[in-house]
Amino acid sequence: MDIKFELVPEDQRKPKPNDPLNLDFGSAFTDHMFSMKYSDDCWHSPLVGPYTPFSFDPATLCLHYGQGIFEGMKAYRRGDRVFLFRPEKNFERLNASADRMVMPQISVDFVLDSLKQLLRVESDWIPQEPGTSLYMRPTMIATEVRLGLRSSHEYIFFIILSPVGLYFKDFVPVGILVSDKYARSASGGVGFAKTMGNYAASLLPGKEAAELGFSQVMYLDSHERKFIEEAGTMNIFILFDDELVTPPLTDTILPGITRDSLIQLARDSGTTVNERSVSIDEVVEGIKSGKVLEVFGAGTAAIVAPIGTLFYKGESFTVADGEIGIITQRLFDELIGIQCGEKEDRHGWVVEIS
């Protein structure tokens, strides 16, 4: 498939944000986007064209039944060099999400090439101040006009780009509400898929946590409300003495690419990492006894987010005096250094756009 280019004339392009460090996450968008359509069992009409609103019939399937999936990725720039981080993993995960949501597969090679072409057009939009990047949002939605509940026969896949600073403005430990009321996902459900409804379902728990002064919600398993699963939009890690633990990948947990990368980086530096179930009681006991030394969340947008306090069943538990842990800081520095091409990429994760 040949990609068509319809570029915005230079003199009609938007001004670039002059302070990317202070941008609200995902509030500014570049001049162009990539899109392609799916009908009659195939993808077609790939286009790098102006960033432009869609116009939908009110009966479009995704507006009613949430048949939509997305990804989050980042591009970094240092001088003339532009770097992507394990981009094929995001498109493979998009295909896994598509499979669960009965949506069509994309060709990983083709969309990766399309993304590179889009980025070549938009390279001036990639900020290069420390902590900044160009956040990329590949998305697939069901576009058939129909109210009967079945999977759509038509889709749009698109990628939009947004220059961003850090997701959490400062790299400081955040307080988290451990919810024994809400669950993020249930066994047999769609927790492992990056589908829109998972995020919509997290809004009420997030709102209630924010009203109590917490920035994220930690979810427990839906069955017993016993084992920790995820923290807001992030996977979660806990350092018990010298053992770094993260819950194993089940169908209720998003298989984070940041999660996977941090596991490998921690192991590289000799830390024991175990993917095992961990109960909230073990965490609380560990915080009380001093065995829990660090807690942090991990995700594309936030990268690594130190967690200082857990609030559970009316009590507050502060991890290691609420300071940023040594391993948390080291993994953050290491990962962001690799992602922006400043640190050695021993695993061959970084893809440079030429």
The whole-angstrom separation of Cα 44 and Cα 36 is 6
- Closer Cβ to ligand COI, 114 or 133, answer by number: 133
Q: Which of 299, 306, 308, 325 binds ligand COI (CB under 6 A)?
A: 299
Task: Give the β-pairing of 292-299 and 272-275.
Answer: unpaired
Question: Is residue 72 within the footprint of ligand COI (CB under 6 A)?
Answer: yes
Inter-residue contact 51 to 67 (CB < 8 Å): no
Question: Is residue 233 within the footprint of ligand COI (CB under 6 A)?
Answer: yes
**Least Å distance between CB 84 and ligand COI?**
14
Q: Which of 216, 300, 328, 339 binds ligand COI (CB under 6 A)?
A: 300
**Least Å distance between CB 301 and ligand COI?**
3
Question: Is residue 218 within the footprint of ligand COI (CB under 6 A)?
Answer: no
Kindly give, in sequence order, each residue whose CB lies less than 8 Å from that of residue 210, ignoring residues fewer than 6 positions away.
none
**Least Å distance between CB 92 and ligand COI?**
16
- Closer Cβ to ligand COI, 171 or 240, answer by number: 171
Inter-residue contact 152 to 173 (CB < 8 Å): no
End-to-end alpha carbon distance in the chain: 21
Cα–Cα separations (whole angstroms), residue 155 to 44, 158, 216, 235: 10, 10, 33, 29
**Least Å distance between CB 347 and ligand COI?**
20
Inter-residue contact 322 to 173 (CB < 8 Å): yes
Specify the residue for token string 């947008």: 301
- Closer Cβ to ligand COI, 62 or 301, answer by number: 301
At residue 312, what is the residue type? Y
**Least Å distance between CB 218 and ligand COI?**
16
Q: Mask 29-68, x = binds ligand COI (CB under 6 A)?
A: ----------------------------------------
**Least Å distance between CB 154 and ligand COI?**
25
Residue of closest CB approach to ligand COI:
72
Contacts 24+ apart (CB under 8 A), 318-325: 318/287, 319/173, 319/287, 319/292, 319/293, 319/294, 319/295, 320/292, 320/293, 320/294, 322/173, 323/173, 324/171, 324/172, 324/173, 325/239, 325/293, 325/294, 325/295, 325/296
Count of residues that interact with ligand COI, criterion CB under 6 A: 5
Q: Which stretch binds ligand COI (CB under 6 A): 45-53, 149-157, 208-216, 293-301?
A: 293-301
Inter-residue contact 154 to 142 (CB < 8 Å): yes
Residue 211 tokens read as 């009203």
Question: Is residue 301 within the footprint of ligand COI (CB under 6 A)?
Answer: yes
- Closer Cβ to ligand COI, 13 or 100, answer by number: 100
Q: Which stretch binds ligand COI (CB under 6 A): 76-84, 151-159, 296-304, 329-337?
A: 296-304
- Closer Cβ to ligand COI, 77 or 93, answer by number: 93
**Least Å distance between CB 299 and ligand COI?**
4
**Least Å distance between CB 69 and ligand COI?**
11
- Closer Cβ to ligand COI, 17 or 206, answer by number: 206
**Least Å distance between CB 232 and ligand COI?**
8
On the CB side of 223, CA atoms within 13 Å amount to: 7
Q: Which stretch binds ligand COI (CB under 6 A): 172-180, 245-253, 295-303, 342-350?
A: 295-303
Inter-residue contact 106 to 96 (CB < 8 Å): no
Question: Is residue 340 within the footprint of ligand COI (CB under 6 A)?
Answer: no
Angle 132-177-189 from CA coordinates, rounded to 5°: 85
343 DSSP 8-state letter? S
Residue 8 tokens read as 């915005």
What are the residues binding ligand COI (CB under 6 A)? Answer: 72, 233, 299-301
